[in-house]
């Protein structure tokens, strides 16, 4: 599929650790290119919120994987563009954009994302979003599992401390209370579960380009990403 000026529209996979800033980068790139943006972490968070609301996660964090797997047909996830240009996640039609960012959801999401039935269901939905190309998708397994043939794959990393600081800032800006220690512990714990689960663990695709953005400003990251996009397009045209 091509855009009006005949530039091919491609799939851009941005994977990396939690709070590495990949969502902001992915969003900004999608906006610059006129591409669709899909935050796959939001999809795992929405399933987690549904499970919490329906008593499928005990207060000690024990997850009822069978109940969650059985509920998947009842869980509809969509994205909606708001008038201010930001994107909100809808769970069965309800705007849950704020609710899915709360610490309780962050604390429960990794075990839910490790359930094979949940992964299969969401990966299928993500692949459907990419049918038309012209998409930027961020997550953990986009370059390895969802779109192994993506024309551009980026793997983003930054130290756990940098990521925790960013996350606290983001949460505070949204009016969600958060302590640095709690967020750092959550980031480290989630990294571990995401890297060690058996079903599509967080792993850099062999052909992904690495980006360590610990020392980069947002503007530098955006420019870096646009440069990689232009390189990918010239390779296709070569």
Q: Which of 21, 28, 41, 115 binds ligand DC (CB under 6 A)?
A: 41
Q: Which is nearer to ligand DC, 212 or 233 (CB)?
A: 212
Contact track, ligand DC, 48-87, x by CB under 6 A: ----------------------------------------
Q: Which is nearer to ligand DC, 69 or 233 (CB)?
A: 69
Select from 36-44, 61-69, 74-82, 228-236 the region that touches ligand DC (CB under 6 A): 36-44
Using CA atoms, how far apart are residues 96 and 94, in angstroms rounded to an integer?
6
Query: Which tokens sit at 213?
Result: 């953005």
Beta bridge partners of 153: 13
Query: Which tokens sit at 25?
Result: 């980068």
Question: Rounded to whole angstroms, what are the CA distances from 108 to 1, 131, 190?
Answer: 39, 30, 9
Residue with tokens 């370059």: 143
Residue 29 in the binding site for ligand DC (CB under 6 A): no
| DSSP classification of residue 200 | S
Residue 113 in the binding site for ligand DC (CB under 6 A): yes
Residue 45 in the binding site for ligand DC (CB under 6 A): yes
Residue 190 in the binding site for ligand DC (CB under 6 A): yes
Query: Are 79 and 95 a contacting pair, CB within 8 Å?
Result: no
Query: Which tokens sit at 42?
Result: 């939001």
Residue 153 in the binding site for ligand DC (CB under 6 A): no
Query: Which tokens sit at 111?
Result: 């075990």
Angle (nearest 5°) at CA 26 between 174 and 234: 165
Q: Which is nearer to ligand DC, 45 or 166 (CB)?
A: 45
Residue 44 in the binding site for ligand DC (CB under 6 A): yes
Residue 20 in the binding site for ligand DC (CB under 6 A): no
Residue 97 in the binding site for ligand DC (CB under 6 A): no
Crossing angle of the two packed helices 160-173 and 180-196, in degrees rounded to 10:
120
Contacts with ligand DC, residue ranges (CB under 6 A):
18, 40-41, 44-45, 109-110, 113, 139-141, 190, 194
């Amino acid at each position: 599929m091509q855009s009006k000026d005949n530039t091919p529209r491609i799939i851009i996979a941005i994977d990396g650790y939690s709070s590495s800033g990949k969502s902001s980068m992915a969003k900004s790139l999608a906006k610059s290119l006129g591409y669709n943006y899909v935050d796959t972490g939001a999809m795992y968070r929405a399933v987690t919120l549904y499970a919490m609301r329906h008593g499928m996660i005990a207060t000690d964090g024990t997850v009822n994987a069978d109940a969650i797997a059985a509920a998947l047909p009842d869980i509809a996830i969509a994205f909606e563009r708001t008038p201010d240009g930001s994107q909100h996640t809808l769970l069965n039609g309800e705007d849950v954009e704020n609710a899915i960012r709360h610490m309780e959801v962050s604390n429960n999401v990794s075990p839910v994302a490790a359930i094979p039935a949940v992964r299969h269901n969401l990966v299928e939905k993500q692949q459907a979003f990419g049918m038309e190309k012209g998409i930027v998708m961020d997550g953990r397994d986009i370059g390895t599992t969802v779109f192994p043939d993506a024309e551009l794959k980026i793997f983003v990393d930054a130290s756990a401390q940098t990521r925790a600081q960013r996350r606290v800032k983001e949460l505070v800006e949204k009016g969600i209370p958060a302590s640095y220690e709690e967020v750092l512990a959550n980031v480290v714990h989630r990294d571990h579960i995401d890297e060690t689960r058996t079903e599509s663990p967080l792993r850099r695709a062999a052909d992904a380009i690495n980006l360590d953005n610990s020392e980069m400003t947002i503007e530098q990251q955006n420019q870096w990403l646009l440069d990689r996009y232009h390189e990918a397009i010239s390779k296709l045209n070569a």
